[in-house]
Amino acid sequence: MSEPDHTQEDSTGDQRSNPVSGVRGWLSRTARLLTGSQIDVGEYDPRRHEPLVSFDGLDGYEEVGRYWVDAPFAFVSLNYRSDESKHYYHVVEPTLTEFEMDLLDRLFEDVRGPLLYRDELAENPERALREETAARLEEYGVRITDETFYRLFYYLHRSFQGYGKLDPLLGDSHIEDISCDGPNIPVFIYHDEYTDIETSVSFEPQELADFVIQLAQRSGRHISISDPVISTTLPDGSRVELALGEEVTPKGSAFTIRKYSDTPFTPIDLLNYGTANAKMLAFLWLAIEHNKSLLFAGGTASGKTTSMNALSMFLPPRSKVITIEDTRELSLYHDNWLSSVTRERMGDSDISMYGLLRSALRHRPEYILVGEVRGEEAITLFQAMNTGHTTFSTMHADSVQTVINRLENEPINVPRPMVSSLDLLWVQVLTRSGGERVRRAKTLAEIEGIDQRTGELDYSNTYTWDSQTDSFQEYGSALLEDIREERGWSQSELLEELENRKAFLRYLQAKQVTDYRRFTAMVNKYYADADAVMTQIQRESTELVDGKARADERTEVPADSEHER
């Protein structure tokens, strides 16, 4: 698509042969001498307006996909270069003419001030920005096409209310991580389909330093050469690690963003992605209901926090739940939930995870969820376990034995008898299966106590993942026996309950119930009246089978029918 001709008119109606020099002349005049112009632009309509972006491909690359990240302003083109065996992530945004860039520079200066004093800025920032942009253009007395207004508005919105040139990446739901290793170096992303990819986005040295400072300010934090490294959380919940200048990062300023999803995973998502199977989840549901403590372990980006958040949706309704994190990641749809986040680097008023955990115990919670244990807070966490509080937490480790070693040694130093109060250990990995990168629950183990002969901590695997078949192997469970005795169930009653919960999860999977609010509501219904829920599931399943059978009968053609003859 070629850009439309933006020939402009001045206040006397004469055409300018050089629109760039012309607009500079207009902008230098006072508003009193201008006759003004009327800017009245509605919403973009693809049936009436020209496309705002165009892209003809990259030389040497084959485009393998494209999708909008901010329609109709920005889309992504995913490309592959066969001779280098690499993918490339290209951001396509509106292209500005020199005249439009001149206008945009002036608007950046003139819109900023009035925008801060508009009363409706907090309620409807997009409308406030649109009206201020139109007002400034009317003062300039320029006449522009609707498409020019949309292009200008996009870049103003991207800068004032978004994250500048990083905005399309933050708006891409397929991206998990964004990494900038320094100025004049392409930004890299982790894409959920193409894994690590180089992008078309990069920063100049001063531009990158300003952007890092902006990210810190957006998070309510301060970064400077004297304090050049901070970990914080963006307003949307994304985790960000920032480094300013060359003090600790010789290449220059840098940042890494781990994006936060505002639609958390549910156990149904774990099923759909093959992270666990229905029988494992039914087992864990029963364990969570009966106040068994869990520790989720795994490497970086293995998804351990995501899995903990998903399984927390099995918490009984109305039970008192407290979450403790240093960066906000957990999201529950639970009525009786108190969320707390640490506050660091505020002098003597620091509020650490250890302090929050001690405070949490005074709230008399039934379940305590801790984002990650690294140090002294682990002892308090295990003390809470020993005093009857059910706790969930995460830890960096790649095996059951590694978890035990980390807990018992520096810097955590949890005494072995206290570690034995842990009930279940979930180890998750990010690995490859069938040519794809997948997340799998590698091991689900039960902590059985201290071996009286050796003095070592005993554990047994309840489920393990077989990488060759991409399936889960089941072993015996002493924990289920404890639950059976606690409830006074027979063995057949225990197995029936597990089968019912497994069928319930399969039913929600078939119904594609992946919204965490709907999922939690269904779990709460099961807690309230399991028999009624299972009766409904069985009735719907029977109707589905009967309906399919009748449909099959209607499509059968008898051998002596007219059609056959």
Please check whether residues 237 and 291 belong to one and the same domain: no
Residue 106 and residue 142 in contact, taking contact as beta carbons nearer than 8 Å:
no
Residue 277 and residue 269 in contact, taking contact as beta carbons nearer than 8 Å:
no
Please check whether residues 118 and 248 belong to one and the same domain: no
Q: Is residue 191 included in any domain, yes or no?
A: yes
Q: Is residue 69 included in any domain, yes or no?
A: yes
Please check whether residues 430 and 324 belong to one and the same domain: yes
pLDDT tens-digit series, residues 297-307: 999 889 999 99
pLDDT tens-digit series, residues 294-351: 999 999 889 999 999 999 999 999 999 998 887 777 888 888 998 887 776 555 567 7
Q: Is residue 304 included in any domain, yes or no?
A: yes
Residue 228 is inside which H or E element, if any? none
Q: Check pLDDT > 90 for residue 543.
A: no
Q: Is residue 10 included in any domain, yes or no?
A: no
Last-in-domain residue among 133, 161, 189: 161
Instruction: Determine the residue type at 320.
Output: K
Please check whether residues 361 and 473 belong to one and the same domain: yes
361: domain range? 267-544
pLDDT tens-digit series, residues 59-114: 999 999 999 999 999 999 999 999 999 999 999 999 999 999 999 999 999 998 88
Please check whether residues 41 and 70 belong to one and the same domain: no
pLDDT band at 36 (very low <50, low <70, confident <90, very high): low
pLDDT band at 31 (very low <50, low <70, confident <90, very high): very low
pLDDT band at 565 (very low <50, low <70, confident <90, very high): very low
Please check whether residues 336 and 359 belong to one and the same domain: yes
* Nearest C-alpha neighbor of 70 from the set 195, 161, 187, 135: 161
pLDDT averaged over every residue in the chain: 86
- The C-alpha torsion from 323 through 257 and 178 to 442, rounded to 10°, is -30
Q: What's the Cα-to-Cα distance from 322 to each of 11, 315, 337, 365, 535, rounded to whole Å?
A: 65, 12, 6, 6, 34
pLDDT band at 359 (very low <50, low <70, confident <90, very high): confident
pLDDT band at 264 (very low <50, low <70, confident <90, very high): confident
Q: Is residue 1 included in any domain, yes or no?
A: no
Q: Where are the beta strands (DSSP E) in 348-489?
A: 367-370, 390-396, 424-433, 436-450, 457-466, 471-474
Please check whether residues 83 and 115 belong to one and the same domain: no
Please check whether residues 244 and 320 belong to one and the same domain: no
Please check whether residues 68 and 209 belong to one and the same domain: yes
Q: Check pLDDT > 60 for residue 199.
A: yes
CA atoms 300, 306, 309, 310: torsion sign = negative
Tell me the helices (H) and strands (E) count for the chain, helix number first: 17, 18
pLDDT tens-digit series, residues 378-394: 888 888 888 788 999 99
**Helix, strand, or coil here: 424?**
strand
pLDDT tens-digit series, residues 125-138: 888 899 889 999 99
Q: Is residue 4 included in any domain, yes or no?
A: no
Please check whether residues 395 and 411 belong to one and the same domain: yes
Q: Check pLDDT > 60 for residue 370.
A: yes
Q: Check pLDDT > 90 for residue 547.
A: no
CATH of the domain at 468: 3.40.50.300
Last-in-domain residue among 260, 280, 305: 260
Please check whether residues 295 and 431 belong to one and the same domain: yes
How many distinct structural domains can be found in the chain? 3
CA 226 to chain centre: 32
Q: Is residue 348 included in any domain, yes or no?
A: yes
CATH of the domain at 235: 3.30.450.380
Q: Check pLDDT > 50 for residue 479.
A: yes
3-state SS, one letter per residue, for 136-162: HHHHHCCCCCHHHHHHHHHHHHHHHCC
Reported pTM? 0.76
Last-in-domain residue among 113, 130, 161: 161
Q: Is residue 551 included in any domain, yes or no?
A: no
pLDDT tens-digit series, residues 400-428: 999 999 999 888 888 999 899 999 999 99
Please check whether residues 432 and 499 belong to one and the same domain: yes
Give the per-residue pLDDT at 349.
Answer: 63
